[in-house]
Amino acid sequence: MVIVRDIEFASTSEANLLPFYGRCHVAYVPSNGVVLGLSKLARVTKLFASQLQSQQRLTSQILVALQQELAPKGAAIVMEAHHLAHGPEADLFMTSASSGCFQDISSSCMQASLVSHTQMNHRQLYELHCVGCTILTSYQPYLHGV
């Protein structure tokens, strides 16, 4: 499983033309040995975020792009964003989308799995316990210029 967390993005809402910004977390299970570079997932996120749209549509667009280009066994996207339409200190809005082997995992479990371990050392291994299965994965954050 490939997981990239804390991809920062900023976009503009199509509903009120005010900005929203936050972090995107992407996970996918490669098929046929096709693994995309970590920086490419950040580029895809920022490419779609540069368009005028809603947070929900942004989440869906990233998922569809991953499905079309990589044909993974499963993919999951979780986005958390602050919308300036709700004031300068707005609540955090969270959206998620999933496909394939992630489809059976409840959205709250998936969001917790992708968001909660952001402070781990990049060499640590951990186990995700969802729907009675254990997936062993290494955490590899998106590093800016390192």
Per CATH, the number for 2-138 is 3.30.1130.10
Residue among 16, 27, 89, 87 at smallest CA distance from 54:
16
Range 17-37 burial, b when 16+ CB lie within 10 A, else e:
eeebebbbbbbbbbeeeeebe
Whole-model pTM?
0.74
Q: What is the DSSP letter of 146?
A: -
Once rounded to an integer, what is the mean pLDDT over residues 75-83?
Answer: 92
Domain segments of the chain: what residues? 2-138
Span 28-41, pLDDT tens digits: 999 888 788 888 99
pLDDT band for position 62 (cuts 50, 70, 90): very high
Span 82-118, pLDDT tens digits: 998 877 777 789 999 999 888 876 655 666 666 665 4
